[in-house]
Amino acid sequence: MDLSNENVIHIKKDGIEYLQFRRLLEYKEVVHCYSLGRELNFMTNRSNGKPITEEEKEFAINSYKKMCKTLGEDYKNIVKPLQEHTNNVKVVKNKINKEEADINLEEYKAIDGLITNKPNLILSSTSADCISLLFFDPVKRVIANVHSGWKGTLQRISIKTVEKMVNEFNSRPEDIIVCICPSIRKCHFEVEENVKSQFQKEFQDLGEENLKEIIEEKIPNKKWIIDTVLINKIILERKGVKKENIIDSKICTMCNPEILHSYRFEKENYGLNTALIELKENS
């Protein structure tokens, strides 16, 4: 299987598979990837509060080490927040642990987005149907890694990220590149009335025509399908991000469960994919 398309390249190296965005590969100062393969699992915590076993944690740490080794990067530089489907975005100024990765530290509790302009910090997000968004401002040399599930999308975490990049690093929205990693797509994101109504209420400002495309009735008065990827594209563009700078992987996790973790496919035994992004020192 090869998931390559006009926006992403499917790479197989040292027994590890991952995606890279063609656009980000134009910049030598950025290292990034989105993990592929069910044999990797980056589950270091569960948002539902169910404890992680020592075996699961060790497996996740080894998955990070394998991915970093393949990329030629140091696993110790990983910074991974405790995601809780919030719209909280935090600026990372330095590593906290010196000899190990900063994974699930109290300092990153209930954080779903990380931003930095510091080199050699590998920002991580994890997902299993939710959207991971990779941000890069090549002018101000700022990166961000954001977890935007349907709850995060409702809270417009992608817009909060742009605003934080503007306010704290003087980024201009028109300079920012946003890459949309694999996630569950409209073809499979089926919801009931309670979720549909939340989207209708929150995104009234997008207009009736956009809402018709975003939310479609599947079973009369019982089920609807929602396009959370399109929502993020529209709100980012309205915030000033150029349409040509919003790069979509165009890959559905639910359509490719043999190579991508998907919560809706795997159910209670689900695993997690990771998205990584790092700035390198000026060469």
Tens place of pLDDT for every residue, the chain, 283 residues?
899 999 999 999 999 999 999 999 999 999 999 999 999 999 998 766 678 888 999 999 999 999 999 999 999 999 999 999 999 999 999 999 989 999 989 999 999 999 999 999 999 999 999 999 999 999 999 999 999 999 999 999 999 999 999 999 999 999 999 999 999 999 999 999 999 999 999 999 999 999 999 999 987 778 999 999 999 999 999 999 999 999 999 999 999 999 999 999 999 889 999 999 999 987 5
Model pLDDT, residue 148: 98
pTM across the whole model: 0.97
Structure tokens at 214: 């975003």
Residues 6+ apart with CB under 8 A from 50: none
Q: CA–CA separation, 261 vs 12, rounded Å?
A: 17
Model pLDDT, residue 48: 63
- Quick: pLDDT tens for 157-171: 999 999 999 999 999
Residue 207, CA distances (Å) to 19, 43, 159, 181, 241 in order: 34, 38, 18, 26, 19
Burial of 64 (0-12, 13-18, 19+ CB in 10 A): buried
Please determine, looking at this structure, whether the domain spanning 8-183+242-279 carries the CATH number 3.60.140.10: yes
Model pLDDT, residue 128: 96
Nearest to 81 by CA among 42, 24, 33, 36: 42
Sign of the alpha-carbon dihedral angle for 263, 187, 223, 213: positive
Model pLDDT, residue 283: 54
Task: Considering only the C-alpha atoms of the chain, give the largest distance between any 2 of them, rounded to a whole number of Å.
Answer: 58
Domain ranges of the chain: 8-183+242-279
- Report the chain's mean pLDDT, rounded to a whole number: 96
Model pLDDT, residue 51: 81
DSSP E strands, the chain: 8-13, 16-21, 30-36, 78-80, 89-91, 102-103, 113-116, 122-127, 131-137, 142-148, 177-180, 190-191, 215-219, 223-226, 246-248, 273-279
Q: Is 135 in contact with 182 (CB distance < 8 Å)?
A: no
